[in-house]
Each structure stands twice: as structure tokens, then as C-alpha cells.
Structure 1
Amino acid sequence: MADTQGGMLGEQRRALILAEVRRRGGVRVNELTRLLGVSDMTVRRDLDVLARQGMVAKVHGGAVPADSASGHEPGFEAKAAQQPLAKEAIARRAVELITPGSVVAMSGGTTVYALARRLTGVERLTVVTNSVRVAEVFHPPGTRAPDPSQGPTVVLTGGVRTPSDSLVGPIADLAIRSLNFDLLVMGTHGLSARRGLTTPNVAEADTNREFFQAARRVAVLADHSKWGVVGMCRFAGLEEVDVLVTDSGLDEAAREEAASVVGDLLIADV
């Protein structure tokens, strides 16, 4: 019997699912059921087939590209193309966490970058970052050194550059260890209730731990596709997060699980 549902052959469905996973960097089962007009069970069977073929890696509630599992670290541009509307919504919500005159650490990542673009006019703000991209938001290449009275003062840690344009390693760690922050705004490759916050990069995990140690409060910005993704290296538990800002694409079960562990859960409407 032909594998059909919703008027579409199984091979056609799986091709569309694979294209969506690659385009967005990850999808959830409930998103695919709405997109394809089929049942959860059908989508899960299709994901099982694609996983056996090595085309995707299954995660809690959905799937990501096979090469994004555990040890693979995408570049900045590849990450920026994933969930852009959710990241902008999260950035809009996260602005309320920033206080003029405070010292804010900002890690690498495209969601943190989206927030940085909204902070250029905040008065008396000091930003410490290990992200080349975040630093360039405040100090565009080729421009004169800014007047501190006209916008944030930026401190770039130095270190070894990762594929996602973060600076990590002993130099970055030493710089961060000597400072204290009112707030840390952190991105993450993946997060889960069981494994916490993870990254594919060993050195980045060490640098992220230094950030956590130096901050009075920690806010993590992560869109819904990050939930259930587990990178090779764990750098913090969810219980260490004071505020988790995510988007309305996160399903109810995951929301309840996250809310039971983190200090505050903020949901940004997309």
C-alpha cells in the first residue's frame, strides 16, 4: 500500500520535512503537522525514517539537521537565518531587562546580537562582550571611537575566534574572571531540563562558565527550536538561570518544564 496521508506521498512529505529542517535549522512536530495537514503520528514516523537515513537528528519534540547534533557548530550567518522572527520578538522582550547605567555582559549568538541592535541608545551602559558581531553593533568597523556620553561603552574580551564569531579561550577567560557584571545576557546552542545549557565548543563552554561566575543575574535568550537540543559540552544548569526569554513557539509541556526550573520564564509573542 502506498504511504500517503493528506493527499501526499510519504517520499514527498519527507522531502518537504527535510527542506524545512535545513531551511530553519530545526522544526517541531506540531509545526510540521500544521504545515503538512497530517497527524503527529505520521510526522513522527517520517522523522524516524529520516533519522535512520542519517538526514536529521531527532530532539525532544522535533528534529534538527543531522550535522547540527552534538559536536557541529554552525557559523554566524547560518544561525542568523534560523528563526529570525522569533529572535526579533525575544530581543524586543529582553530590552526590559536592561537598566541604564548598568554593566551588562553579552555572549555570542544571533539572538543576543538582535538584542544588541536595540541597545545602541541606552545611556551610561557598559557592555562587556566576547562577540565580535555584538561589539561591531556599537562600534562599526571604520568609524571613530564613540563618545561614551552618546551611547554604551564596549569592552571586547579578546581570545580565539569561533565559527560563530565568539572569542573564547584562556585570554577571554582571564579577562572575564577579573570583572563583575550586573547582568549576563547569554545565548545557547541548546537547552534542556535534563542537560541544561550546552554548546558544541569545549573552549566556549569554559568561557561561558566564567561569564556565569562573574554575573549577579543571568538572562538566557533562546528561541523555541533550541529546546531539547543537546551540544557536546554542558556549561550551566537551568536552575542557574534567573530569566529565560523564549518565544511563543515553545509548546506547553516544554514551558511547564522550563518554568519549574528557571527563576522567571518570559514568553515573547511572535
Structure 2
Amino acid sequence: MLASQRRSAILALVEEAGAARVSELVDQLGVSDMTVRRDIERLDAEGLLERVHGGAIALLPRAADEPGFSAKSSLMTAEKHAIALAAAALVEPGATIGISAGTTTYEFARAIRNVPALTVVTNSVPVAQLLHEGSGNHVVVLTGGVRTPSDALVGPVAVSALKGLHVDRLFLGAHGIDRNAGLTTPNLVEAETNRALVGASRSVCVLADHTKVGIVGLSTFMALDEVDTLITDAGVPSRARGILEESVDHLLLADVAGTHLTSARQAGDAANGGRS
């Protein structure tokens, strides 16, 4: 297990239980006491959990908390990769697409570097750099604006740049996904820019791993029932999966182990032994 994957596992275990002892994490991960303590110190320094004597406790999410791009990049890496591959299968040569800022959408951009003749509209500095340094077979339109901790360009300049633009499909990240609050972000100005991206798009595909479900950020930028396609991973609890399937037009689950893609209904049938 890579260090980043191990830290993601520790964070997931702590958040699921609310707290975890070092000894428990050692047993579950099969690594040394010192390794777990170093990982906890790293996650504490990044503001992702709180280190306490003998273990760690989960942080209560605050609506205005906005982790940086580098901190989020080390989390749920396998899930993001699987989601990105599933989303890349929806992109045809010559398409005009939008890509919002975020670590999952960045992974998606990595997955489409070899798709020819794309025109990409984005407010993400890392996405623009990645595609610009790639095959050179893409036209990249970077919106401009004020840079946020998540490396998004936001604000009036970005919104103005998006006016009059039209993309076939937007690939959109989200800080949180909730049945009532919809898609949210902790940054008010980024929410405004995301609304402009949505407004410029004929179809919206949301890319978000299962840890985003149930999280509510400060500002809503899109209602859940306005989403055309949501691609997440099979870690979404069954109850939440049912809610998402009822709310969005298409819910697709990426299988992290085999990077296989199924609909939520197919996943449910498989869990029931194939019975519908």
C-alpha cells in the first residue's frame, strides 16, 4: 500500500468510527506503530483529523472549510482514478467540454489527454497546465480570475469569460452532495463561477467519490435533480445510493478494484443475487 493510500485508509477509518486508537489502526493496516503515528501527524498537520494521545479523532466538517488542492490530492486516490476512467469513456474526439476545478476533475483531465481534437473550457489552473503540457492536440480556454485554495479561478472575470460560451458536457466536481442542499462548495465566489459553468453546458456530469455524499458546504451551486449524470464509487451506502438514483438522471458506480462501471440498479441486482 502506498503512503497516500494508507493515509486515506486511516482517515476513512477515523471518520467512520469518529475516532481510532493507534493499536487498532496497526492491526487493521498491518503496519508498524511508528508508521501509523507518522501518518496521523501528517493528517493532523494537513487539518484532516485531530491527533490525540494514543490515536486520532475525526473533525466535524464545517461549512466554510476549504482544504487545499495538495491536501485533497492524497485522499481517495484509487476512487478518483476509477471515476476518472469511467468519465473519460464519455468523451468523444472533437468534443467541446468543460472541466471545473478539483482533484477528481484533475484526474479526469489526466485520463483524457490522449483523446484527440478536444476543446476544453476550464477554471482550473492545474487542469489547464496538464492539458497544455500534454499531446498539444487540445485547445484549452482558461477563464481567468482570482485563485482559490483549491486552485480554481473564480470571480467576476471568470463569470464574464464564461458568458457566451457553450460546451457539450461539463465535468463538474463538488465539495459536498446532499439530497436537500444539492451540490455545494465552501467558497461563495467559487459557487458563483460553478453556476456560470453549469449555465454554459448542455449536459452536466458530476464526478465525486463516496466521501462527498452527505457533506454540506456553505453555498449551493446546483440542485441534485438538475444533474444529468453522477459518477461515484461503490463505497456509497445503499440508502444514499437509492436517494441519488431517484434524484439524478443517471447514476453510475465505478468499481475501484476492476475499474468496471455499472449503473446503481445493476449493482443492487448483483447484491441480491441477480434478482430484480
Aligned length: 219
Gaps of 5+ in 1: 1-18, 38-54, 57-62
The CA deviation string for residues 76-114 of structure 1, in whole angstroms up to 9 with x for no partner, is: 000111111110110111111112111100000000000
TM-score, normalised to structure 1, is 0.75
- Among 179, 182, 188, which residue is 2:174 paired with? 188
Residues 73 and 158 from structure 1, CA distance in 2 versus in 1: closer, same or farther, beyond 3 angstroms? same
**What pairs up with 1:86-125 in 2 under 5 angstroms?**
86-125=79-118
- Among 209, 219, 222, which residue is 1:233 paired with? 219
For the Cα contact (< 8 Å) 1:90–1:247, is it kept in 2? Answer: yes
Residues 21 and 231 from structure 1, CA distance in 2 versus in 1: closer, same or farther, beyond 3 angstroms? farther
- Among 108, 123, 127, which residue is 1:134 paired with? 127
- Among 59, 64, 87, which residue is 1:65 paired with? 59
Q: How many percent identity over aligned positions? A: 45
Residues 64 and 170 from structure 1, CA distance in 2 versus in 1: closer, same or farther, beyond 3 angstroms? farther
Q: After the TM superposition, which parts of structure 1 deviate over 3 Å for at least 4 consecutive aligned residues? A: 19-30, 34-37
In 1: Cα distance, 2:128 partner to 2:170 partner? 15
For the Cα contact (< 8 Å) 1:212–1:218, is it kept in 2? Answer: yes
In 1: Cα distance, 2:223 partner to 2:58 partner? 22
Residue 155 of structure 1 aligns to a residue whose secondary structure is strand
TM-score, normalised to structure 2, is 0.73
What residue is the counterpart of 1:246 in the other structure?
232
Residue 197 of structure 1 aligns to a residue whose secondary structure is strand
- Among 115, 136, 155, which residue is 1:169 paired with? 155
- Among 194, 198, 202, which residue is 1:208 paired with? 194
Residues 226 and 64 from structure 1, CA distance in 2 versus in 1: closer, same or farther, beyond 3 angstroms? farther
Residues 104 and 135 from structure 1, CA distance in 2 versus in 1: closer, same or farther, beyond 3 angstroms? same
What residue is the counterpart of 1:219 in the other structure?
205
2:179 partner letter: A
Residue 112 of structure 1 aligns to a residue whose secondary structure is helix
In 1: Cα distance, 2:8 partner to 2:99 partner? 30
In 1: Cα distance, 2:13 partner to 2:175 partner? 11
For the Cα contact (< 8 Å) 2:155–2:190, is it kept in 1? Answer: yes
Residues 120 and 21 from structure 1, CA distance in 2 versus in 1: closer, same or farther, beyond 3 angstroms? closer
1:86 partner letter: E
For the Cα contact (< 8 Å) 1:116–1:134, is it kept in 2? Answer: yes
**1:265 has 2:251 as partner:** yes
Query: In the TM superposition, what is the alpha-carbon distance from 1:26 to its structure 2 partner?
Result: 7.5
Residues 138 and 193 from structure 1, CA distance in 2 versus in 1: closer, same or farther, beyond 3 angstroms? same
For the Cα contact (< 8 Å) 2:8–2:74, is it kept in 1? Answer: no
Query: In the TM superposition, what is the alpha-carbon distance from 1:27 to its structure 2 partner?
Result: 3.6
Query: In the TM superposition, what is the alpha-carbon distance from 1:64 to its structure 2 partner?
Result: 5.9
State the superposition RMSD in angstroms. Answer: 2.6
Residues 100 and 111 from structure 1, CA distance in 2 versus in 1: closer, same or farther, beyond 3 angstroms? same
In 1: Cα distance, 2:9 partner to 2:86 partner? 26
For the Cα contact (< 8 Å) 2:8–2:75, is it kept in 1? Answer: no
Query: In the TM superposition, what is the alpha-carbon distance from 1:20 to its structure 2 partner?
Result: 7.0
